Amino acid sequence: MGISDVSKTYFVACDMIHNLTTELYESLHNDDGEPITDTESIRSLIKTSKSKLYQELDLITETTIEYNEQKNNSRKKSFNKMS
């Protein structure tokens, strides 16, 4: 995984977060555009949104971890070749 792959993954995750935010905003309103005020409905929408959001944030974290592990392994291989 190269640094450009990391950037692409960040973009995909952030784009999804943006879409999720828009989806949440729209879900907080009924078909007539009135805000939903039922507490249980709102809690359910928030719970679902959090789950999806956390998946995207985890993707960012896991991508960073994977990139750094690969980079460190590459450095170790280079060092071992020099030894």
The residue ranges of every structural domain in the chain are 3-82
Global model pTM greater than 0.75: yes
pLDDT one-digit tens code per residue, 36-62: 999 999 999 999 999 999 999 999 999
pLDDT tier at 78, thresholds 50, 70, 90: low
Residue 33's region, left for phi above 0, alpha for psi from -120 to 50, else beta, is left
Task: Specify the pLDDT at position 73.
Answer: 84
